[in-house]
Structure 1
Amino acid sequence: MAAKKKGRNTAEAVRELAQPLADALGLTLWDVRFVKEGADWYLRIFIDKEGGVSIDDCVDMTHAVNEPLDAQDLVQGAYTLEVSSPGINRELTRPEHFAACKGQQVWVRFIRPFADGSREVIGTLRSFENDTVTLESAEKETMSFALADAAWVKLYDNDDLGGNEDE
């Protein structure tokens, strides 16, 4: 639990540091995560921009954030910095993610089976208010659920049905 709390606080501090740097580079700061995998810590900064992110954008953001991260000593201990695009199946975690993706197809995996017994659903994102997600199915049925009931909500790419079960 302590590591989770530490990770969340570190990610928010890094987000505050990285936001103006991303803005100056013409990038959108999509997400910041500080996670432990095995014995190693990873600081992951996800960036986006109109037309997509290039490797040069990732390099530019890495260079921009490296020195301030070291100078402000926001991350305790050893870690690996990774800067990348959030990808086509990007996870929606913040209110601004849901606002940016309204009207698009999303894929939801629930923590527990939903009312009809399903653990996953694909639908069009209609709204996100007060931590409640509202989707419309292909059959034009509307369903709402608390974001806390979802393991994740991701943009859905029709070419990637099923995705990686280990994600």
Structure 2
Amino acid sequence: MNIEKRVKELVEEKIADKPNLFIVDIKMHSNGKLIILLDGDNGIGIDECVQVSRHVGFHLEEENVIETAYNLEVSSPGIDFPLSSPRQYAKNVGRNLGIKMKDGAKREGILTGLTEDAITIEEKVKEKGKKAQVIESVIPMEQITETKVLISFK
């Protein structure tokens, strides 16, 4: 039985009545650590993580899905965790993003919008000898390898 698939079913069952919550990632690591990352359109609280943890833990024990000792961790993705789903992009509109492109280029800009297959950012572009200009760029999702929210401490 695929552990991650069963865990996904259990999480979906538990958050079914909370449409603002969604799964970001589920990973069973070889060191026995099972990590479930959840988020919400308006963030996610510790209570919601605890409820999911209890539900999943109870059923995994009951069904004896994992035969070895494991450590279950349910949390929201840290600020340094790359964005992966359209819902994560949507909740970060207005924030500054760092984007790694498939061609190796790095781009930075404020997320102003998104469609199913592309994001729109406002980025500063400076040409030699000219003043930097803010332009709006549409970047297809398929050209992106990683996107992170950039935090400024200025």
- Work out the percentage of aligned pairs sharing the same amino acid: 23
Please give the alpha-carbon distance, in whole angstroms, between the structure 1 residues aligned to 2:101 and 2:61.
Answer: 38
Q: 1:75 to 1:152 in 2, by over 3 A?
A: farther
Choose the corresponding residue for 1:142, options 123, 136, 153.
136
TM-score, scaled relative to structure 1: 0.63
Native 8 Å contact 1:108 1:153 kept in 2: yes
Native 8 Å contact 1:89 1:157 kept in 2: no
Q: 1:137 to 1:145 in 2, by over 3 A?
A: same
Choose the corresponding residue for 2:151, options 143, 152, 157.
157
Deviations 1:56-99 (A, max 9, x none): 55444311221223456767877542212212334221122222
Greater shift, 85-94 or 12-21, is seen at: 12-21
Q: 1:142 to 1:92 in 2, by over 3 A?
A: same
Residue number in structure 1 paired with 2:10: 17
Corresponding letter in the other structure for 2:76: S
Please give the alpha-carbon distance, in whole angstroms, between the structure 2 residues aligned to 1:76 and 1:111.
Answer: 39
Corresponding letter in the other structure for 1:85: S
Residue number in structure 1 paired with 2:85: 94
Please give the alpha-carbon distance, in whole angstroms, between the structure 2 residues aligned to 1:129 and 1:41.
Answer: 37
TM-score, scaled relative to structure 2: 0.67
Deviations 1:95-141 (A, max 9, x none): 22222222222221223233xxxxx2221112222322221114421
Paired residue total: 145
Please give the alpha-carbon distance, in whole angstroms, between the structure 1 residues aligned to 2:141 and 2:12.
Answer: 25
Choose the corresponding residue for 1:61, options 52, 61, 80.
52
Native 8 Å contact 2:10 2:55 kept in 1: no
Structure 2 unaligned spans of 5+: 125-132
Structure 1 unaligned spans of 5+: 1-5, 115-119, 161-167
Q: 1:94 to 1:76 in 2, by over 3 A?
A: farther
Q: Which of these two proteins has the greater Rg computed from alpha carbons?
A: 2
Native 8 Å contact 1:25 1:61 kept in 2: no
